[in-house]
Structure 1
Amino acid sequence: MNAELIAVGTELLMGQISNTNAQYLSQRMAEIGIAVYHHAVVGDNLERAQKVLGIAKQRGADVIILCGGLGPTEDDLTRQVVASFLGKNLILSDEIVEHIRSFYTYRGREMPENNKQQALVIEGATVLDNPRGTAPGQYIEADGVHYFLLPGPPAELKGMYQEQVLPILQRVQGEAKQVFASRYLHTFNIGESALVLKIKDIIDAQSNPTVAPYASEAGCTIRLTASSANEAEARALIAPVESAIRERIGHYVYGVDDETLPVKPGLLLRERGERMVTAESCTGGLIGQLLTDIPNCSDYFYGSIVAYDNTIKEKVLGVDSQVLREHGAVSAQTAKQMAEGARKVMGVEWAISVTGIAGPGGGTAEKPVGLVYIGVAGPGGTTVGEHRLFGDRSQVRLRAARTALHSLIERIQNER
């Protein structure tokens, strides 16, 4: 089966909110073997929304999910769009009216009359209860196509999908159900074009599983996706292709699936029973932020020292003032002493340091904007790497933070 997702709301087209529902639904549907072929966003306009719905049907979608446009205002038109498209009437449900009224009564308020619009049900549709809000969803099948109308607020949509949409989808799939399984190989220090050249024959020969490389700020990822009757069979199809790819580029792969740059250090450190700190200059605590975004990071992350000014580098981290005078704050020598000082002061096994020129000013011919030194101090000694990063200030800082995390991952893995 294949599906299309249609997000309804002018606020999406104006950039006022992000379409996170599409990401969530695509992930959940892939888990049960339904391929999402298209995403669409349309404003609160009856004619345009009907055209988008018609295109989805013409393309052969088995499932069409519309998100949003189920509110109580005049521009909430999703019910009218689908009813008109299917040639169905809208019928007022007294039961839903009373549910909405009780929602307001519980909060000590009177229900506005326009909320009755949310109780209009497409003739022949199944109502999908919404205990998290006032807008119920709806499900109707017509001409072999399964239509779902879901509320726009993510918390309401997610609950409704899991509790009511998912069982319906599993039922209509029946014996034809296919399961999709994916494997993600995360790489660093190799560009997308170079990566593709190394595995071009594998990409060209793909069928099941499919092989899809894509780039992001965090590096390049290769997604392997297979379909079969069950997950075990799908993963068995992926395994030999993954092995062939690793033979070519294995040294660039630092993690798989959820093992992203901020996550991987914690997995390695927790396994070893070790802890780490950061000493940050140009990144200003950004590495610490990436690490503390991960739940339970206190198991291995001790803290950060933001040594932006040289005074902090000297008095807290113990960087030699002569090193600063002779080599400057942005130097391999300073990065080395920052990492070693942080490790000593905090009494942990690992420390990473970053010092560089994020720009837009401050660069020279000898030390241009984007020059960054990253130090890693650990049980086996200290290493320092020189990096030439590009982009604006925010990009240089973020790339420096991610490069520092990758440098730590490499060191820990090499000292196993």
Structure 2
Amino acid sequence: MRAEIVATGDEIRTGALVDSNSAHIADQLEQAGIEVTRHHAVGDDLPVLVALLHEIGARAEVAVVTGGLGPTEDDLSAAAAARALGVGLVLDQQALEEIEAYFTRRGRPMTASNRKQAMFPEGARRLPNPIGTAPGFRVVIGGCAFYFLPGVPHEMRRMLQEQVLPDLHTMQGAVRDFRLTRVISTFGLPESVVGEKVAAIHQYFPDIKLGLRAKFPEIQVKLYLNTPDEAQGGRMLDGAARWVSEALGINVFSLREGTMAEEVGALLRQQNATLALAESCTGGLIANWLTNIAGSSDYFLFGAVTYANPSKIQVLGVEPETLEQYGAVHETTAQSMARGARRIAGATYGLATSGIAGPGGGTAEKPVGTLCIGLDGPMGTRSRTVTLSFGQRLMNKRLFAMIALDLLRRALLEQPDQP
């Protein structure tokens, strides 16, 4: 079964608004075993919309259209569908009552313009919107089943999940393919090297499609499989994921598309260990990543952004002589920061970062992109210096944070500090 996706609205067409809806819809359709062949971005232009609906109706079996269901004059989806079908717009009484009830529950008056949202092409099937004012509808144009959904992402997602996908499953019948995916997250190797190391997977798993994605600063290995047997396909993907993990070794940090912070947090929890942070160049980014995880208070005890030298001395207890002799960006300083954070919090591990994120501040001896990490724990005190610059301050900060967390991950796994 082939599908196309249409995102409507001038803000989508011009790039003023990022189209996240189409990506989500494509992912859900592919997982349902439906091949997405085209994406379209169309402005608020009735003749263009009508022409596109005719084109899609002649070549696809399914289409999902988002946007254009609002109460204003530039919301044209219903009118375009009606014109493509050669029918008029009619009032759906049930849809009108649902819209009125929505406003009543919120104690707000319904304006006359909202009545437009209950006008559908004659013969359309209403798709209720339980959390918004814009119901959707289903029509068949040519040989294609069109599902018109609102552009508000959380409304679209719920309607897609509760109404569109079950309807498509019924259309597929008893015989259907499942689109299964595994995502293996790696860090520390360039994309080209990752590709070389996993290229032989087709010799062992010929039915699995391989893809690589650079999601800075990690590289994701994606495995895809179309199969009529979901359980058997899942076992095959599990085996392929294990093969990829063995091929890439310690550079794999998640077999479930987890973040580095989630995987480090899980290791800390498994070992009943705790963490304290002293961040300078990363500016609290590591603490932010960790505290974005529900339940991180089980293992994350303390975080300090000791950016200036006096704060390193007064808060962490770094000796002034250390800073005078080595400077802020040095392994000795980072070690002292890590020990101080660990001591203050009474944590199992103390992790510290100090570096030069740029774009200025670098020297010949310590160029932009220099990072010093300190890690203090039951194994003693470790440190590492790296120099890797991507030319942009925020990119460097993200890279620094990942390197620091990866150093901790390796320590928790009792693996070497570096590849």
Q: Normalising by structure 1, what TM-score? A: 0.93
Determine whether 1:87 maps to 2:91.
no
Equivalent residues of 1:330, 1:356 under 8 A apart? yes
The residue correspondences of 1:38-117 to structure 2 (distance < 5 A) are 38-58=38-58, 60-117=59-116
Equivalent residues of 1:90, 1:123 under 8 A apart? yes
Equivalent residues of 2:278, 2:337 under 8 A apart? yes
The residue correspondences of 1:259-274 to structure 2 (distance < 5 A) are 259-274=258-273
Measure, in 2, the Cα distance between the counterparts of 1:357 and 1:247.
35
1:348 aligned partner, one-letter code: A
Residue 127 of structure 1 corresponds to 126
Measure, in 2, the Cα distance between the counterparts of 1:36 and 1:298.
42
Measure, in 1, the Cα distance between the counterparts of 2:372 and 2:107.
60
The residue correspondences of 1:239-258 to structure 2 (distance < 5 A) are 239-258=238-257
Q: CA deviation at 1:313?
A: 1.1
Q: CA deviation at 1:297?
A: 1.2
1:402 aligned partner, one-letter code: M
Q: CA deviation at 1:385?
A: 1.3
Q: 283-292 or 112-121: which moved more? A: 112-121
Residue 280 of structure 1 corresponds to 279
Residue 288 of structure 2 corresponds to 289
Residue 186 of structure 2 corresponds to 187
Residue 153 of structure 1 corresponds to 152
Equivalent residues of 1:208, 1:237 under 8 A apart? no
Determine whether 1:237 maps to 2:256.
no
User: CA separation of 1:108/1:260 partners in 2, compared to 1, >3 Å: closer, same or farther?
Assistant: closer
Measure, in 1, the Cα distance between the counterparts of 2:205 and 2:33.
19
Equivalent residues of 1:218, 1:261 under 8 A apart? no
Residue 141 of structure 1 corresponds to 140
User: CA separation of 1:411/1:35 partners in 2, compared to 1, >3 Å: closer, same or farther?
Assistant: farther
Residue 322 of structure 1 corresponds to 321
Measure, in 1, the Cα distance between the counterparts of 2:310 and 2:172.
66
Equivalent residues of 1:9, 1:42 under 8 A apart? yes
2:407 aligned partner, one-letter code: S
SS in 1 for 2:168: helix
User: CA separation of 1:65/1:204 partners in 2, compared to 1, >3 Å: closer, same or farther?
Assistant: farther
Measure, in 1, the Cα distance between the counterparts of 2:101 and 2:321.
74
Equivalent residues of 1:186, 1:256 under 8 A apart? yes
Residue 337 of structure 1 corresponds to 336
Q: CA deviation at 1:353?
A: 0.7
1:365 aligned partner, one-letter code: A
Q: CA deviation at 1:343?
A: 1.0
SS in 2 for 1:245: helix
SS in 2 for 1:220: strand
Measure, in 2, the Cα distance between the counterparts of 1:8 and 1:205.
43
Residue 396 of structure 1 corresponds to 396
User: CA separation of 1:172/1:367 partners in 2, compared to 1, >3 Å: closer, same or farther?
Assistant: same
Measure, in 1, the Cα distance between the counterparts of 2:30 and 2:290.
29
Any idea what the Cα deviations from partners look like across 1:183-210, whole Å, max 9, x if unmatched? 1111111011122122334369975211
Structure 1: give runs of 5+ residues left out of the alignment: none
Q: 334-343 or 1-10: which moved more? A: 1-10
Measure, in 1, the Cα distance between the counterparts of 2:203 and 2:62.
30
Determine whether 1:313 maps to 2:312.
yes
Equivalent residues of 1:276, 1:302 under 8 A apart? yes
Any idea what the Cα deviations from partners look like across 1:328-360, whole Å, max 9, x if unmatched? 100011111111111111101112110001112
Measure, in 2, the Cα distance between the counterparts of 1:214 and 1:241.
17
Any idea what the Cα deviations from partners look like across 1:353-402, whole Å, max 9, x if unmatched? 10001112211101111101112222111221111121211111111111
Residue 369 of structure 2 corresponds to 370
User: CA separation of 1:277/1:134 partners in 2, compared to 1, >3 Å: closer, same or farther?
Assistant: same
Determine whether 1:385 maps to 2:369.
no
Any idea what the Cα deviations from partners look like across 1:252-271, whole Å, max 9, x if unmatched? 21111232212111111111
Identity of aligned residues (%): 37
Residue 210 of structure 1 corresponds to 209
SS in 2 for 1:224: strand
SS in 2 for 1:311: helix
Determine whether 1:20 maps to 2:25.
no
Structure 2: give runs of 5+ residues left out of the alignment: none
RMSD of Structure 2 on Structure 1 (CA):
2.2
2:3 aligned partner, one-letter code: A
1:61 aligned partner, one-letter code: A
Measure, in 1, the Cα distance between the counterparts of 2:214 and 2:205.
19
Residue 412 of structure 2 corresponds to 412
Q: Normalising by structure 2, what TM-score? A: 0.92
1:44 aligned partner, one-letter code: D
Residue 177 of structure 1 corresponds to 176
Equivalent residues of 1:203, 1:212 under 8 A apart? no
User: CA separation of 1:109/1:198 partners in 2, compared to 1, >3 Å: closer, same or farther?
Assistant: closer
Residue 37 of structure 2 corresponds to 37
User: CA separation of 1:312/1:14 partners in 2, compared to 1, >3 Å: closer, same or farther?
Assistant: same
Measure, in 2, the Cα distance between the counterparts of 1:42 and 1:204.
42
SS in 2 for 1:130: coil
